[in-house]
Structure 1
């Protein structure tokens, strides 16, 4: 990471701390992907550690304090249980969608999601 970038990882385990990374997180959960069910895809994206963030619905990350913006450069993703999982990601500024993309994920394959989005205050 450069001096202006911050890597967010989940290696603390347990629950996602309130305000982690200066974000309000909704719908995000953390588990130890390295030791979780080996027939799931969770262990595939643990190349940099053991813990992964997951959801069974929608994750929202909103920058705090309200009104500040952030950039989302990239992250690793995989499907947990079923191939051809459609992941839809939106970057918003003041509730207006600025960026949006759809990615198809597979269970045993890492997808590097390169977004390079800037000037957003919310990502879903």
Structure 2
């Protein structure tokens, strides 16, 4: 059995085949890894991310089991650590704040477009209403994007998607969020 595992690992390594999700994922110390996988999902369309989850407050954040979603969507491709991921409810902004202390650091996360390629994820990190950081990235349905921010001393991050041609179907996913509280 051990020999079979070694052969499979060598095969995937030799041909650079990407598995549909990572086996493990970590954050650099002292960051915390938020995977959404321990949230009990009670329906296929997902549930709101509970405020306080991972030490954060979640405005308009939802979570669902991406592996039980329609194949070919960013919900399935966006899963890094099975089975759950976060997404923006109704395509509206996700606003994340620290639930317990004033500021936090957002280090990184993985993201996918859900329904259409080439949507733009606009991120703004603020402290006391003053913009400290901004970044925009293009997202795709079948390829997760690793977004590294390392934004420190913020009290809010706003995540907004822009798509001028996709009629409001501009949802995005988030998985394996690394934060320092």
| TM-score, with structure 2 as normaliser | 0.64
Q: 2:122 aligns with which of 64, 76, 88?
A: 88
> Which of 88, 113, 117 is the equivalent residue of 2:147?
113
Structure 1 unaligned regions, length at least 5:
none
The answer on 1:36 being equivalent to 2:36 is no
Find the counterpart in structure 2 of residue 63 from structure 1.
98
Name the structure 2 match of 1:24. Answer: 57
Q: Which structure would you say has the larger Rg?
A: 2
Look up the SS of the partner of 2:76 in the other structure. helix
Which residue of structure 2 aligns with residue 47 of structure 1?
A: 80
- Structure 1 contact 25–61 (Cα < 8 Å) conserved: yes
- Shift of residue 18, structure 1, vs aligned partner: 2.4
Residue 17 of structure 1, CA deviation: 2.1
Structure 2: 5+ residue stretches without partners:
1-26, 42-46, 159-181
The answer on whether the counterparts of 2:121 and 2:137 sit within 8 Å (CA) in structure 1 is yes
Structure 1 stretches of 4+ with a deviation exceeding 6 A read none
Cα root mean square deviation, aligned: 1.3
Pairwise CA distance, 1:2: 4.3
TM-score normalised by length of structure 1: 0.92
Tell me the distance in 2 between the aligned counterparts of 1:65 and 1:47.
27
Q: What is the alpha-carbon distance in structure 1 between the residues aligned to residue 53 and residue 68 of structure 2? A: 24
User: Are the counterparts in 2 of residues 13 and 32 from structure 1 also a CA contact under 8 Å?
Assistant: no
In 2, distance between residues paired with 1:13 and 1:40?
A: 22
Aligned residue pair count: 123
Contact 1:13 1:51 in 2 (8 A): no
Deviates more, 1:42-51 or 1:104-113: 42-51
For 2:36, the equivalent position in structure 1 comes to 10
